[in-house]
């Protein structure tokens, strides 16, 4: 069984993305907030994560970086609007950026190329920006 996490802003876009992924054989966990996405990622090892945002409100951590840490083997896709490309410093852990309207072929090509090792992986999260520090005993 393949598991997918879908973080979308609205019910309509979440339903559309979930319908596409379900037709591809994924068991979907839909969420509507970054904090719920993190909670779900701590509970389930996902194969695919589709998110519409890279940030967590009122938190300095990168949402996509944290999701990538929770499910390191997952393909992480950022959905962007056709006129907005996020800055490179917001793409921690993201494997690919796809634009709406989303199609099954778009997702399949990203997942297949990631599994084969041909995906244009973005650089790993920078450790010099890490805000968590080890405690000194």
pLDDT digit string (tens) for 7-59?
998 899 899 999 999 999 999 999 999 999 999 999 999 999 999 988 888 88
Query: Which pair of tokens denotes residue 76?
Result: 């992480």
The encoded tokens of residue 5 equal: 């996490």
Global confidence as pTM: 0.78
- pLDDT value at residue 126: 47
CA end-to-end distance (rounded Å), the chain: 43
Confidence of residue 121 (pLDDT cuts 50, 70, 90): very low
Buried-state track 24-55, b at ≥16 Cβ within 10 A, e below 16:
eebebbbbeebeebbebbeeeebbbbbbbbbe
Range of lowest pLDDT (36-40, 81-85, 104-108): 81-85
Percentage, residues of the chain above pLDDT 90: 41
């Amino acid at each position: 069984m393949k598991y997918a996490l879908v973080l979308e802003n609205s019910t309509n876009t979440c339903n559309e993305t979930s319908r596409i992924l379900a037709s591809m054989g994924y068991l979907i966990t839909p969420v509507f907030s970054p904090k719920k996405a993190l909670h779900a990622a701590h509970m389930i090892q996902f194969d695919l994560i589709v998110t519409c945002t890279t940030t967590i409100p009122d938190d300095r951590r990168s949402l996509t970086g944290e999701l990538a840490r929770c499910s390191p083997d997952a393909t992480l896709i950022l959905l962007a609007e056709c006129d907005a490309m996020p800055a490179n410093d917001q793409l921690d852990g993201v494997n690919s950026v796809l634009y709406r309207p989303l199609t099954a072929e778009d997702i399949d090509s990203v997942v297949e190329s990631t599994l084969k090792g041909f995906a244009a992986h973005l650089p790993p999260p920078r450790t010099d920006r890490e805000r968590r520090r080890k405690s000194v005993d």
